[in-house]
Structure 1
Amino acid sequence: MHNLDVIQEEIGLCFTIDRSLPGRGYLALLQKAVQYADRAGFSFAWVMEAADVKQNPTIIQSTLSVQTKRIALRGQCLSPDRRDAIRSVEDWSIVDNLSNGRIGVMVAADFDEAMNRHVAELRGLWKGESVKRMNGVGKEVELKVFPRPLQKELPIWVCMTAAHDETAFKKAGELGVHILVTPDLHSAEKTVQYRKAAKEQGRVAWLVDPGYGNLSADGVNEIAFKVDLSWGEARVINCLENLAASLKSMNPA
């Protein structure tokens, strides 16, 4: 059992999905696990798909949004080559309304001009700005998202990897996105670069295995425990129960 009462970070979960999982089985387990996390007091739940999983994340999130009451729900935003930004924002706006403003999204951390445009367009559409697109008869029209989301700002995250140096962390801060990083890739220098560029507004989350040891680090706002749904129901639920017991000791009734 973790001694979570010695740390100040928010505690949440990151559920991973891959193609080895049978559709009906993993979906039922995911729903059961996220509902449990909501009742147990975890702050957030990520649903992360492997690269070979090609589905619309908002379909899963819309289901979870009406089955939970308080936990923040986060998922991947499809890249513009797979789904137009206006469609992505409209889908996530619906989930934001269903969840009463509890969603957050992750975008690909390429840190190139295409990423800058994508993030800017997502934010603009979320705030009610219009974009120009060609309609079915080849005429340019202006489009807006409906329904409007509840949150004023779209929480955007990126997952930092070994390929990202201090310059990339600085770019993440300049772009105003939050970062998810594993402890082995986290360093004080990188965090300082990120924090300075983000003007102290960005959030840093650690992505860790349930058995990871030292959970306290400067500049970290959140701890996300990885839960692999391929473990099967018994192991997943046991893991959640152990983490929940630690969380309860951190926040006794």
Structure 2
Amino acid sequence: MTDRPDPRTAGGEPSFSLFFFSDDRERSKEAGYHLVLEAAKFADAEGFDSIWVPERHFNKFGAPYPNPAVLAAGIATVTERVGIRAGSVVVPLHHPVRIAEEWAMVDNLSRGRVGIAAASGWSPGDFFLSDADYGRRREETFERIDTVRALWRGGPVDVRTPGAREGAGEQLLRTTYPRPVQPELPTWIATVGTRETWVRAGECGYHVLTALVATTLDDIAGHVRAYREARARSGHAPEAGRVTMMIHTFLGPSETEVRATVHEPLVQYIETHISQASGHPNAPDAAGKRSLAEFAFERYYTHNGLFGTPETALPVVDRLLAAGVDEIACLIDFGVEDEAVLQGLPYIGMLRKSALERHGEGSGD
């Protein structure tokens, strides 16, 4: 990977983005993708780094997002400068050609503003969409994203899927079209846990997309150190690697108002995660799920998100940056009503400006 700095994040300043991941559009069908597009316009006008959109399948949780490239194309038509990124493409579910073609189209629509995070997937039920082996999904991710990037550069590339490259058979060399605007595809590896994945991302010269899920900032700081050391060992500039942290965010004029606004949506959000374990023999019943979710809410609200006012959230930003995070990707669609989310965006803008004043170029830090 070429260590070419992203023009939207170069200069050493902390960057802020908006992230979509989990919302259930069933509750407001008439709204369509209004929240995404209006948030994208806000981010574009206010100097945010990027908009991130995910890939989700077969679940009401994340239902609006089966194809990030399609949504990214829509964002490209209503914005001028903000980065447009997939957070993430579940790479083993797709042929590398399709990924390269679709995102090259969006790169053209946006005049060179796309990037993608590559995820390995987690649900075995999703993998009937692909010929990939679920047990090899992490290896498939790195193999297929390497092919995507080779196609992006112009090929020709052997476009048989990685598993088909073993054994006999002629190469199938192809070049994909349209040709993208960017000579290199900015690429992140999505991971929420294992040090091994961080190290491999560093060795390959990729960026990293992560989240505060079942981990701590101390863990993240250790992962970041290992990641940058791996980049250096492999000949990649250590500080050129971007560490992007997805974090649930809602800010407003007062702590009391914010807490009242996010309490029920966030509890339901946590309950949904607990429900994903409902097939386990020791899974809690409905009352147990609610009790666990209420207990988890306190920890999540206090330690795992950006909640409150711009003033109370700034120390959390300080800790994220101290842990080695370069980009704070504010996840805003976890169940709060759309209009409340949009009304809260200017407060995220205030937090961004305060962070730039404290940590940006010329701050003296």
TM-score of the pair, normalised by structure 1: 0.83
CA RMSD, Structure 1 to Structure 2 (Å): 2.6
Q: From 175, 190, 203, give the equivalent of 2:242.
A: 203
Query: In the aligned structure 1, how far is the partner of 2:226 from the partner of 2:77?
Result: 39
Query: In the aligned structure 2, how far is the partner of 1:229 from the partner of 1:20?
Result: 11
Aligned length: 239
User: When you count strand as a share of all residues, which structure comes out higher?
Assistant: 1
Q: From 60, 73, 82, give the equivalent of 2:71.
A: 60
Preserved CA contact (<8 Å) 1:209 1:226: yes
Q: Is 1:170 matched with 2:199? A: yes
Query: In the aligned structure 2, how far is the partner of 1:113 from the partner of 1:49?
Result: 19
Q: Is 1:117 matched with 2:182? A: no
Q: From 196, 201, 225, give the equivalent of 1:192.
A: 225
Query: In the aligned structure 2, how far is the partner of 1:193 from the partner of 1:79?
Result: 24
57 and 112 in structure 1: CA distance in 2 versus 1, 3 angstrom threshold: closer
Q: Tell me the equivalent position of 2:35.
A: 29
Paired residue secondary structure (1:231): coil
Higher RCO (C-alpha 8 Å, min separation 6): 1
Which aligned segments of 4 or more residues in structure 1 are displaced greater than 6 angstroms? none
Moved more, 196-205 or 175-184: 175-184
TM-score of the pair, normalised by structure 2: 0.59
Query: In the aligned structure 1, how far is the partner of 2:30 from the partner of 2:156?
Result: 38
101 and 71 in structure 1: CA distance in 2 versus 1, 3 angstrom threshold: same
Q: Is 1:215 matched with 2:248? A: no
Q: Structure 1, unaligned stretches of length 5 or more?
A: 1-6
Q: Tell me the equivalent position of 1:45.
A: 51
24 and 79 in structure 1: CA distance in 2 versus 1, 3 angstrom threshold: farther
Larger radius of gyration: 2
Moved more, 213-222 or 29-38: 213-222
User: When you count helix as a share of all residues, which structure comes out higher?
Assistant: 2
Q: From 125, 138, 142, give the equivalent of 2:173.
A: 142
Preserved CA contact (<8 Å) 1:181 1:204: yes
Query: In the aligned structure 1, how far is the partner of 2:51 from the partner of 2:333?
Result: 13
Q: Structure 2, unaligned stretches of length 5 or more?
A: 1-11, 122-136, 161-169, 233-237, 250-306, 308-312, 358-365
